[in-house]
Structure 1
Amino acid sequence: MAWPQTLIDACYFIAALLFILGLKRMSSPRTARGGIVWAGFGMLLAVVATLLLPDMQNRGLIIAAVLVGVAAAWWSGRRVAMTAMPQMVALYNGMGGGAAAAIGASELVSHARDLVAGAPAPNTFPLMPESWSQLHGAAAVAPLSPVALALGVLGALIGSVSFSGSLIAFAKLQGWLDRRFVFPGQQVVNLLVLAAALLMGVALGSGHITIALVCAFFVLALLFGLLMTLPIGGADMPVVISLYNAFTGLAVAFEGFVLQNEAMIIAGMVVGAAGTLLTQLMAKAMNRSIGNVLFGNFGAAAGGAAQAISGSQKPIEAADAAVMMAYAERVVIVPGYGMAVAQAQHKVWEFAQVLIARGVKVKFAIHPVAGRMPGHMNVLLAEAGVPYDLIVDMEDINPEFPVTDVALVIGANDVVNPVAKTDPSSPIYGMPILDVADAKQVIVVKRGKGTGFAGIENALFYADNARMLYGDGQAAAGQLVAELKTLDG
């Protein structure tokens, strides 16, 4: 039974509304879960409508692939720990870029084979002139529409870069690769590889489509994604994840134009726009311009010798730290990736609840790039049940640190490092930070004396008003809870 095209278009329209409304609801922690559900229903509707297209072929294989993908996503979503969520996001994002690149590759290879065989090219690019075979005969090979071909090649290029780059990001976050990989003349090599890929793309766009040229184009595109991501340092990873998210959305949208599929166009444009805005916000939080994010050497250190840090790290016992905060008026808790690794968010919230019960005013301060992906700390705190009105963004909490009695830093490092304001030679110089050092007293929960993910020594740990509570985050939070309850007993 052939379904009316009007009904299919209506399904796509409803799916688009669900995508947009779902994304809007994701902008607030209170409605984010519902937004994800709305967008999920929109995607389900778009997939069903696509399967109902009258000219759809291999429905059985497509449905089987969808079921395999859903099963894998369901299993990984339930099994992957929250600490591994950034690398899972990077991996899933790469799969989207790879799918878009695969569409472009399939169409280009198919057309190249038709050109070799001398058969009429299939109308897989809908923007191709329909009357070509009528004007030139059935045996004539129809040229691809310049618009369709350009979009197909561009989508394939961007998708390939997103795919290979996201795989490197995944490997770095998973700990399979060193944090950074640089070599002399790296920027020149990157530009040459990109230029070669673009030249081959132009050749493909001009209609000179051969199997060898298509293969060389994709090899260079994938290589550029690898080379662009290898020098990335850990401090820049949130920016990179959001950047590749935008790339994937653009690639999907371009391939949607090629296939004339409204759902792909709208979904890709929404993801691309959201990813671009998020990249801008992350770049601002890292004090980087978009140009620097796209073409700079991620994580490269600035020139000059680093400023020496005077003083020493001063330890504190859990009992003393608990007393200090129990009799404070204002306490600000600053979570970081170390809290996620220790899975300490529930104990930290329990500690905060005990403080609140004693009349202490408690807030949680969140840096835009805390953790290893945007919103990582917000998700962890929400998972532990922390009320949204206690979670404060960097711009709003920074003016409050001078009147804060105790700032409790648990697992955060680079986002509270004062050298971002004082040391021009530091790789993070100019990055907006949480002004934890301005608090009257600072307690830092940390496993040891090592540096943070960016590999930079933290001057905060040596400050006169800072004390170090060494140990696992969850164990330390548990000790603080126990000491507070002892005071109450």
Structure 2
Amino acid sequence: MPQALVNIAYLISALLFVFAFKGLSHPRTAIRGNLLGALGMLIAIVVTLMDKSIVSYELIILGFIIGGVIGAVLAIKVQMTAMPQMVALFNGFGGGASTLVAALAFIEATQLNKTLGTQETVATVASGIIGAVTFWGSLVAFGKLEGIIEERPVRYKGDQIVKILFALSSIILGIYFGLERDISYYWYLVAASSVLGVLLTIPIGGADMPVVISLLNSYSGLAACATGFVLNNNVLIISGSLVGASGIILTNLMCKAMNRSLTNVLFGGFGEIVAGADEDKVYGGKVKSASPEEVAMLLENARRVVIVPGYGMAVSQAQFAIRDLMKVLESKGIEVEFAIHPVAGRMPGHMNVLLAEANIPYEKLKEMDEINPTFEQTDVSIVIGANDVVNPLARTDSNSPIAGMPILDVDKSKTVVVIKRSLAPGFAGIPNPLFAADNTLMLFGDAKKMVQELINALKES
């Protein structure tokens, strides 16, 4: 194809990617944004294949069929609660693909006796390092989210020094690769970077998974961008840059929502058991347990109810039961809204996705800044499986691991009902005084089952 036509097609793809991001910024336009992004990628792939004179279409079709079947099966089988794990895998596969493509481009150039320029050499090294870190870091994140690996931070003495040594080793091997033009050094740096990816992710606790996922997403984009420079492919450079930049922006927003720096997320070991956290002192003789029937009586007399979903809702898949509870309450003339914390769940927007799956109107989902001033006028707040994001220690204890973290001010409601299996701490590893507050009632049990019993009690009344 004429190069001018290729560049025009790539420009159209890039514009579609930009409009896709714009569409994905709001639920009403998310489907359209997703379709625009898919169309942009289709154009980029078709034009790239038509532009290359030596292409094994048989292998491409075979890969398309295999990947399509795997993707279709996953789309049908994977539960919405497992979407964070899926995103982690997607990030990892993107990084791994960038690493392999950069290696194959170098091997091809060597076989054709081509000399790589400085741009291609540096980009190849960047693809190898970032791609390997992304791939193995994402696999660790997947393991933590899936429960295969311990969710709490895995720390050991001198862990920071070990990470620095592997990072320096990757860089030094990259320099040797650039000087010697020997593919062996590339695989050495990939091996060192792979270990680095594991070491960077294994010390991070489950509470920080939303930040880690968005950061790994950025890494996968940067790896793709570097590979674009290796291949001199403009659309890959543009799309990789978009993903890398958006991932960094999202990571920064998530860190602000937790009142923590990225450095603290990566090296702070958030989620370790906090020494001296005396649960008996916080809870002893103060926790008041209630039955679904007692909570139903409270709700009968309420005018405004706010539901706060957390990871416990995702685990029990209680979103459909919560939708039914909302309908029952509204049929009795009670105003119902949902308070969404930016880092509730396992990835950005996790609660929004689950509630959307249950067809809960988006207008009822209120962000933290909008809902917090209204809690004092709320008769009953129902906390479903959330912990750290409603812990008042973030406001009252400057020595707490979550000190300064913006939280949902549910404790200011007239009555708080917490649906939780037990008094076990959240990922921060600290007790929650909200559970022992004078205006709090604990409804112990599985979220889905307890909500269903609430609905039955309300209907009977």
Q: TM-score range by the shorter chain?
A: over 0.9
Shift of 1:110: 4.9
Q: How do residues 219-368 of structure 1 correspond to structure 2 at under 5 angstroms?
A: 219-294=191-266, 296-299=267-270, 305-306=276-277, 308-311=281-284, 312-368=286-342
What corresponds to 2:83 in structure 1?
85
Alignment-mate amino acid for residue 147 of structure 2: G
Shift of 1:258: 1.6
Task: Assess, with a 3 A threshold, how the Cα gap between structure 1 residues 451 and 158 changes in structure 2: closer, same or farther.
Answer: same
What corresponds to 1:20 in structure 2?
18
What corresponds to 1:121 in structure 2?
113
2:271 touches 2:428 (CA, 8 Å); kept in 1? no
Shift of 1:448: 2.4
Shift of 1:278: 0.5
* Alpha-carbon separation, structure 2, partners of 1:148 and 1:45: 25
* Alpha-carbon separation, structure 2, partners of 1:169 and 1:350: 33
* Alpha-carbon separation, structure 2, partners of 1:461 and 1:203: 58
1:403 touches 1:439 (CA, 8 Å); kept in 2? yes
Is residue 185 of structure 1 aligned with residue 183 of structure 2? no
Is residue 199 of structure 1 aligned with residue 190 of structure 2? no
Alignment-mate amino acid for residue 91 of structure 1: L
Task: Assess, with a 3 A threshold, how the Cα gap between structure 1 residues 257 and 212 changes in structure 2: closer, same or farther.
Answer: closer
1:246 touches 1:276 (CA, 8 Å); kept in 2? yes
1:98 touches 1:162 (CA, 8 Å); kept in 2? yes
Shift of 1:211: 3.4
What corresponds to 1:130 in structure 2?
none
Which segments of 5 or more consecutive residues in structure 1 lack a partner in the other structure?
123-141
Structure with higher Rg: it is 1
Shift of 1:6: 3.4
1:423 touches 1:429 (CA, 8 Å); kept in 2? yes
Q: Which has the higher helix share?
A: 2
1:302 touches 1:425 (CA, 8 Å); kept in 2? no
Shift of 1:432: 1.3
* Alpha-carbon separation, structure 2, partners of 1:148 and 1:4: 23
Shift of 1:422: 2.7
2:271 touches 2:427 (CA, 8 Å); kept in 1? no
The one of 29, 36, 39 equivalent to 1:38 is 36
The one of 118, 122, 125 equivalent to 1:150 is 122
2:217 touches 2:244 (CA, 8 Å); kept in 1? yes
Alignment-mate amino acid for residue 146 of structure 1: T
1:82 touches 1:380 (CA, 8 Å); kept in 2? yes
* Alpha-carbon separation, structure 1, partners of 2:39 and 2:341: 32
Question: For residues 174-216 of structure 1, what are the alpha-carbon distances to aligned partners after superposition, in whole Å with 9 as ceiling and x for unaligned?
Answer: 00011221100101111111111112222323x3222332221
**Percent identity of the aligned residues?**
46
* Alpha-carbon separation, structure 1, partners of 2:76 and 2:34: 16
**How big is the alpha-carbon RMSD for the aligned residues of Structure 1 and Structure 2?**
1.9
What corresponds to 2:366 in structure 1?
392
TM-score (norm 1): 0.89
Judge which range, 228-237 or 5-14, deviates more. 5-14
What corresponds to 1:209 in structure 2?
181
2:128 touches 2:189 (CA, 8 Å); kept in 1? no
* Alpha-carbon separation, structure 1, partners of 2:301 and 2:441: 17
Task: Assess, with a 3 A threshold, how the Cα gap between structure 1 residues 336 and 33 changes in structure 2: closer, same or farther.
Answer: same
Task: Assess, with a 3 A threshold, how the Cα gap between structure 1 residues 108 and 422 changes in structure 2: closer, same or farther.
Answer: farther
Judge which range, 455-464 or 158-167, deviates more. 455-464
What corresponds to 1:436 in structure 2?
410
* Alpha-carbon separation, structure 2, partners of 1:13 and 1:265: 12
Q: How do residues 55-70 of structure 1 correspond to structure 2 at under 5 angstroms?
A: 55-70=53-68
TM-score (norm 2): 0.94
* Alpha-carbon separation, structure 2, partners of 1:293 and 1:203: 32
The one of 134, 137, 143 equivalent to 1:171 is 143
Question: For residues 295-319 of structure 1, what are the alpha-carbon distances to aligned partners after superposition, in whole Å with 9 as ceiling and x for unaligned?
Answer: x234265987436424432111111
What corresponds to 1:475 in structure 2?
449
Alignment-mate amino acid for residue 260 of structure 1: N
* Alpha-carbon separation, structure 1, partners of 2:9 and 2:107: 31
2:277 touches 2:431 (CA, 8 Å); kept in 1? no
Judge which range, 51-60 or 460-469, deviates more. 51-60
* Alpha-carbon separation, structure 2, partners of 1:267 and 1:290: 24
* Alpha-carbon separation, structure 1, partners of 2:135 and 2:437: 43
* Alpha-carbon separation, structure 1, partners of 2:112 and 2:231: 18
What corresponds to 1:457 in structure 2?
431
The one of 420, 435, 439 equivalent to 1:446 is 420
* Alpha-carbon separation, structure 1, partners of 2:226 and 2:27: 31
1:330 touches 1:361 (CA, 8 Å); kept in 2? yes
* Alpha-carbon separation, structure 2, partners of 1:315 and 1:304: 27
Judge which range, 7-16 or 64-73, deviates more. 7-16
* Alpha-carbon separation, structure 2, partners of 1:454 and 1:74: 37
